[in-house]
Amino acid sequence: MTTTGPTTGPTTGTVTLHRVLRAPPERVYRAFLDPDAMAKWLPPHGFTGRVLSMDARVGGSYRMQFTNLGSGAIHAFGGEYVELVPGERIVHTDRFADPNLPGEMRTTVTFKAVSVGTELAVVQAGIPAVIPTEACYLGWQESLQLLALLVEAEIPG
């Protein structure tokens, strides 16, 4: 939730999401680091996505953009990979290219094998104060619906 501090002005927001997916942790983890997979599931409804660069290693970075299909407006962002534990955990930073959306976010994604697949937890902290937290929740919920459709598909061969 975004609040205003007594002397510091607007503070940043944090969103926390939880899902259980019918897919093994390795497949779900791969969907977070494969550029083509990210372009398919990460953009929320009404947006297309393009990965501009990807160096999926600790200390490596990525750049991506979402394009609003209705208006054509482009929202570019990117960050650095802080922690990568295959099938278990991803931590990365995020920064918007737009100077009106300042600051650095930190996204932590954990994957836990459970009897039916993968328990997924996402925490995104440091969301710029000008972005309503509920809009972030809505966008993430839409993205995670698309992620489920991608990783839960059982395609032979």
Give 58-123 as a DSSP string: TT-EEEEEEEETTT--EEEEEEEEEEEETTTEEEEEEEESSTTS-S-EEEEEEEEEETTEEEEEEE
Q: Check residue 5 and give its pLDDT.
A: 42
Look at residue 10 in the predicted model and tell me its pLDDT: 57
Q: What is the CATH number of the domain that holds 87?
A: 3.30.530.20
Instruction: Enumerate residue ranges in the chain where pLDDT < 70.
Output: 1-11
pLDDT at 4: 42
Q: Does residue 29 form part of some domain?
A: yes
What per-residue string of b and e applies to 118-153 under the rule 16 or more CB within 10 Å gives b? bbbebebebbbbebebeebeebbebbbebbbebbee
What does the pLDDT read at residue 23?
Answer: 98
User: What pLDDT score was predicted for residue 8?
Assistant: 44
Question: Does a structural domain hold residue 73?
Answer: no
End-to-end CA distance of the chain: 45
The confidence score (pLDDT) of residue 2 equals 40
* Tally of domains within the chain: 1
Residue 129 domain boundaries: 9-45+81-151
Residue 95, domain member (yes or no): yes
pLDDT, tens digit, 9 for 90 and up, residues 97-118: 998 888 899 999 999 999 999 9
Could you tell me if residue 36 is inside a domain?
A: yes
